[in-house]
Amino acid sequence: MTTSPLTLRVAIVGAGPAGIYAGNLLATAVTERSGRVEIDLFESLPAPYGLIRYGVAPDHPRIKGIVNSLHEMLDAFSSDDAPRRTIRFIGNVEVGRDVSLDELRARYDAVILATGAIRDAALDVPGVDLPGSFGAADFVAWFDGHPDVARTWPLDAASVAVIGNGNVALDVARVLAKHAVDLRTTEVPDNVLDGLEGSAVTDVHVFGRRGPADIKFTPIELRELGEVRDVDIVLHDEDFEGVDPASASTNQLKVMLRTLDSWRGRPAGTASRRLHLHFWHAPVSIEGDGRVEGIRFERTRTDADGALVRTGEFRDYAVQAVYRAVGYYGTRVVDAPFDEARGVIPNEEGRVHGERGLYATGWIKRGPVGLIGHTKSDALETITHLVADAEAGLLRAERPGDDILDVLDAAEVEYTTWDGWLALDAYERALGETHRHPRERVKVVPREEQVAVSRHGVLAR
């Protein structure tokens, strides 16, 4: 076992919350042991923050606080004021395309994979591939201004189905039901505002397989739904038979059931748009001749043991679009082990199976479940094992003489840096100040424009 202070070089693949928390915890753990750590944080996008920037609806004010916290972590370790702990942000670099995993493992004592999950999980029902059937992750990426998705989105459907009972389903439903004018104060890109202003949506139906007592929302998400202007919430009494808020299993669930109860008591409204919440509906098929024209469900219930069973009663709804919010699927890294069935990197508490010096954290480690707080505790588990392995002398890379930036330069990869992000951040804030609808920022969407501002301070001509 090593007795001298640790000196580590570590690569982290993924600059979302999981990667940033891991870098922060590792830097703190090593410096507390009077050691030195150099961390390179790789991100396939030009900008940091992952799903916080590109996977959460822009009308969530609390997201600003999370971004500020992540920014402070990176900024503190990206300066010369912390000589024993440094983090370099290296964006616009995809591991497996611009640089190989083997090239990283040769240059770092350890590599932490924190690539998260950005793809939609599959929904295996007939008609799922019809035009008008969309993955929620793709829609979220569009309205968040992800650089790698189309700039336009078809919003010609009057009635829309959203399948899922989690926060992503509520985000999708809320953005679809909300009037574009009420998003003008957010950082939503102009192309998204233009698309939403032309939306034909009047009715959004959200369907869950289980009942109200099994919803996966959070209270704040549900409360925000009831605050949307000119949108009526529609519930159905048959879905609430036997549901008693007082007997809820947690305080959070009790709050949400009381919220739903209060909406049930509202008189019929006259809003121009409606948001329908349906429970006990299992999707059977998406119907249509050449495109989505409807969706069929089978009613469900729970048996005496709490297991979900189908009742044989079917319901059909005329809708012109379907959004599948049934979960995410992990983002694999080329040449890293991957469990296709679960969509994760096989690991034991963060140590990747059979791969010394290779670790995982976040959703790619445990699956796409849990909130930001879970991501932080999850990173702590992984970092604890990494530091223990380092102290046991198990992490020793045979480092070539060149820096990874030399490799990227030689390959003419236009990578971005932390200073580049600060330049892009300032540029987006300036766009917000001078916009026809002033707001805190307006996102730059095209990848090439993000890279141009990050690397040169101006847009490419």
Say yes or no: 141 and 17 in one domain.
no
Q: Is residue 227 situated within a structural domain? A: yes
Q: pLDDT category, 375, cuts 50, 70, 90? A: confident
Q: Is residue 458 situated within a structural domain? A: no
Mean pLDDT of the chain: 91
Report helix, strand or coil for 398: coil
Say yes or no: 50 and 147 in one domain.
no
Report helix, strand or coil for 350: coil
Say yes or no: 274 and 162 in one domain.
yes
Q: Is residue 95 situated within a structural domain? A: yes
Q: What is the DSSP letter of 205?
A: E
Mean pLDDT in residue range 246-272 = 89
Q: pLDDT category, 78, cuts 50, 70, 90? A: low
Q: Which of 343, 386, 385, 389 is nearest to 366 (CA)?
A: 343
Q: Can you give the pLDDT at residue 459?
A: 65
Q: Can you give the pLDDT at residue 451?
A: 97
Q: Is residue 2 situated within a structural domain? A: no
Residue type, 410: A
State the residue range of the domain holding 141.
Answer: 122-326
Q: Can you give the pLDDT at residue 3?
A: 56
In this structure, of 52-66, 154-168, 242-256, 285-299, the range with the lowest mean pLDDT score is 52-66
Q: What is the DSSP letter of 415?
A: -
Q: Is residue 440 situated within a structural domain? A: no
Structural domain ending residue among the three candidates 326, 347, 367: 326
Q: Which of 96, 109, 117 is nearest to 6 (CA)?
A: 109
Residue type, 457: G
Structural domain ending residue among the three candidates 326, 346, 361: 326
Structural domain ending residue among the three candidates 296, 326, 356: 326
Give the pLDDT confidence of 91-127 residue by residue, as tens digits.
999 999 999 999 999 999 999 999 998 889 999 999 9
Give the pLDDT confidence of 190-234 residue by residue, as tens digits.
999 999 999 999 999 999 999 999 998 888 889 888 889 999 999
Q: Is residue 429 situated within a structural domain? A: no
Q: pLDDT category, 79, cuts 50, 70, 90? A: low
Say yes or no: 133 and 246 in one domain.
yes
- The β-bridge relationship of strands 308-317 and 36-42 is unpaired
Q: Which of 441, 419, 448, 430 is nearest to 48 (CA)?
A: 419
Say yes or no: 369 and 234 in one domain.
no
Instruction: Spell out the residues 6+ positions from residue 136 whose beta carbon is closer than 8 angstroms to its own.
Output: 120, 162, 164, 168, 169, 172, 323, 324, 325
Distance CA 14, CA 160 (A): 34
Say yes or no: 294 and 351 in one domain.
no
Q: Is residue 368 situated within a structural domain? A: yes
Q: Indicate the Cα dihedral angle 20, 104, 46, 72, nearest 10°.
A: 20
Distances (CA, A) of 55 to 36, 50, 118, 136: 34, 7, 8, 10
**CATH code (residue 338):** 3.40.50.720
Instruction: Spell out the residues 6+ positions from residue 395 whose beta carbon is closer than 8 angstroms to its own.
Output: 8, 109, 110, 356, 357, 386, 389
**How many CA atoms lie less than 13 Å away from 41 in the CB half-sphere?**
33
Say yes or no: 225 and 313 in one domain.
yes
Neighbouring C-beta atoms of residue 274, cutoff 10 Å: 17
Q: Which of 170, 121, 97, 126 is nearest to 333 (CA)?
A: 97
Q: Which of 67-71, 81-85, 259-263 has the highest mean pLDDT?
A: 259-263
Say yes or no: 242 and 377 in one domain.
no
Give yes or no for residue 1 having a pLDDT over 60.
Answer: no
Distance CA 112, CA 12 (A): 5
E strands present in 229-320 = 231-234, 273-278, 281-287, 294-302, 308-317
pTM of the model: 0.92
In sequence order, what DSSP letters do the residues of 110-158 get, joined into one string?
A: EEEE---EEEEPP--STTTTSTTEEEHHHHHHHHTT-TTS-S------S
Q: Can you read off the two tokens belonging to residue 267?
A: 């008189």
Say yes or no: 279 and 343 in one domain.
no
Q: Is residue 460 situated within a structural domain? A: no
Say yes or no: 342 and 245 in one domain.
no
Q: Can you read off the two tokens belonging to residue 246?
A: 């007082």
Say yes or no: 338 and 322 in one domain.
no
**CATH code (residue 305):** 3.50.50.60
Say yes or no: 402 and 313 in one domain.
no
The number of domains in the chain is 2
